[in-house]
């Protein structure tokens, strides 16, 4: 056991030291404000990001680089207290009409009422694949690890190492998969009180503004994307090609157990369940195994 552990530690150190595609810098090195910088701040050593929403503006950051595949980790402490009407988002996205996007959105609530964790995925500009969850912890009391894991085989949404959702690649069966466009990592905080909380019935209480979401430890273990010509290069140039390795291609039985626990106990909306919305014409992936 001891030697296995030593071996794993050595392997880990090797992988961290020699993986040139891993971005593990302070947030201020890897991201910049694209909106509301005047409100917000990167404090401390540049790894204490605070996004602020007040009556003048919300705010947002995006990564300097786009990526193709990777594991995008961010530790986030959501807006505490009465956060009704606010939405904090953490997502990856390309741009244009046929964009790809993978989302976490956190819909605020009145004090003491639960947040909604909203997830979605767009492929070729087409979304409408929402799944929603209740947090099984207080997301405002401390930082939690929200990670979007995206490889050629599947997308996995993780919270504190627990997978909550998988979207598998069924491109060979005609279902679009995000694998041709580089995506940047974004986070933002904005006023969505026309829809977010109890369907828009609860408005933002500006008397308790400013609303502040805090972030640290952004880490993109990801393949840097330099445009369509270099997809293969992107993968080939990364020695620790972990996102295509079997370890990262399929959840273990233990992870499946955790995911089922979340989905059985904390899932509150699944588009694949919403026959009325789709008029009986359910999206094709709803008939495919996702795990
Ligand atoms: C965050 O979660 C991801 C996915 O489980 C994991 O790979 C990563 O090590 C976690 N980071 C921390 C700081 O726990
Ligand atoms: C807010 O709390 C109410 C009451 O518990 C709940 O119905 C609602 O889903 C919660 N979340 C949002 C975003 O409205
Ligand atoms: C999905 O539909 C079934 C049957 O109508 C229902 O029991 C279940 O709660 C629904 N799940 C979600 C997450 O909406
Ligand atoms: C867009 O997505 C919806 C929901 O997944 C699906 O029903 C529809 O067929 C898709 N449309 C196209 C053009 O892919």
Let me know if residue 10 belongs to a domain: no
Pocket of ligand 3 contains residue 286 by CB under 6 Å: no
Active site residue 173: no
Residue 217 in contact with residue 75, Cβ under 8 Å?
yes
Tell me what pLDDT residue 113 has. 97
Q: Dump pLDDT digits (tens) for 4-14.
A: 444 444 433 33
Task: Select which of 101, 130, 171, 285 is catalytic.
Answer: 101
* Omega prior to 128 cis, within 30 of 0: no
Let me know if residue 269 belongs to a domain: yes
Phi (first) and psi of residue 80, to 5 degrees: -85, 170
Tell me what pLDDT residue 85 has. 97
Pocket of ligand 1 contains residue 207 by CB under 6 Å: no
Picking from 57, 63, 64, 59, the residue whose alpha carbon sits closest to that of residue 37 is 59
Centroid of ligand 2 to alpha carbon of 158 (angstroms): 22
Let me know if residue 172 belongs to a domain: yes
Full domain range(s) for residue 166: 18-287
Centroid of ligand 1 to alpha carbon of 67 (angstroms): 18
Pocket of ligand 2 contains residue 28 by CB under 6 Å: no
Residue 259 in contact with residue 160, Cβ under 8 Å?
no
CATH number at residue 263: 2.60.120.200
Centroid of ligand 4 to alpha carbon of 193 (angstroms): 27
Read off the tokens for 84.
């009704």
Tell me what pLDDT residue 225 has. 79
**Count of structural domains within the chain:** 1
Q: Dump pLDDT digits (tens) for 26-47.
A: 899 999 999 999 989 889 888 8
Instruction: Please choose from 270, 283, 285, 287 the residue to mutate so as to test ligand 4's pocket, defined by most ligand atoms within 8 A of CB.
Output: 283
Centroid of ligand 1 to alpha carbon of 73 (angstroms): 7
**DSSP run (H or E) holding 29:** helix 27-30
Q: Average of pLDDT values for 128-149? A: 97
Residues contacting residue 45 through CB under 8 Å, at least 6 positions apart: 26
Tell me what pLDDT residue 248 has. 56
Pocket of ligand 3 contains residue 132 by CB under 6 Å: no
Let me know if residue 12 belongs to a domain: no
Let me know if residue 26 belongs to a domain: yes
Instruction: Find where tokens 């627990």 sit.
Output: 162
Atom of ligand 3 nearest to the CA of 268: 13
C-alpha span between 196 and 190 (Å, rounded) = 11
Let me know if residue 72 belongs to a domain: yes
Pocket of ligand 4 contains residue 123 by CB under 6 Å: no
C-alpha span between 258 and 254 (Å, rounded) = 6
CA 59 to chain CA centroid, Å, is 17
Active site residue 105: yes
Percent of the chain at pLDDT > 70 equals: 84
Give the pLDDT band of residue 189 (cuts 50, 70, 90).
very high
Picking from 60, 50, 115, the residue whose alpha carbon sits closest to that of residue 86 is 115
Residue 104 in contact with residue 258, Cβ under 8 Å?
no
Let me know if residue 175 belongs to a domain: yes
Let me know if residue 196 belongs to a domain: yes
Q: Average of pLDDT values for 135-142? A: 98
Better-scored residue on pLDDT, 141 or 6? 141
């Amino acid at each position: 056991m001891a030697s296995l552990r030593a071996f794993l530690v050595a392997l880990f150190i090797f992988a961290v030291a020699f993986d040139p595609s891993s971005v593990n810098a302070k947030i201020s090195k890897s991201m910049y404000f694209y909106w509301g910088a005047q409100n917000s701040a990167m404090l401390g050593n540049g790894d204490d990001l605070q996004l602020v929403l007040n009556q003048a503006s919300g705010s947002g950051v995006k990564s300097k680089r786009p990526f193709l595949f990777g594991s995008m980790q961010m530790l986030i402490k959501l807006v505490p207290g009465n956060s009704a009407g606010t939405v904090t988002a953490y997502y990856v996205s390309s741009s244009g009409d046929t964009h790809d996007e993978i989302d976490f959105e956190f819909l605020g609530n009145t004090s003491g009422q639960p947040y909604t964790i909203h997830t979605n995925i767009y492929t070729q500009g087409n979304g409408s694949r929402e799944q929603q969850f209740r947090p099984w912890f207080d997301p405002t009391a401390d930082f939690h690890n929200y990670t979007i894991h995206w490889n050629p085989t599947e997308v996995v949404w993780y919270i504190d190492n627990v997978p909550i959702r998988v979207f598998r690649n069924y491109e060979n069966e005609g279902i679009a998969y995000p694998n041709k466009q580089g995506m940047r990592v974004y986070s933002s905080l904005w006023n969505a009180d026309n829809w977010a909380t109890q369907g828009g019935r609860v408005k933002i209480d500006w008397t308790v503004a400013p609303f502040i979401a805090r972030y640290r430890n952004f880490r993109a273990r990801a393949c840097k994307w330099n445009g369509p010509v270099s997809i293969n290069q992107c993968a080939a140039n990364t020695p620790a090609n972990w996102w295509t390795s079997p370890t990262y291609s399929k959840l273990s039985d233990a992870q499946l157990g955790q995911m089922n626990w979340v989905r059985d106990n904390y899932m509150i909306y699944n588009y694949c369940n919403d026959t009325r919305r789709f008029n009986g014409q359910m999206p094709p992936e709803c008939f495919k195994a996702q795990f």
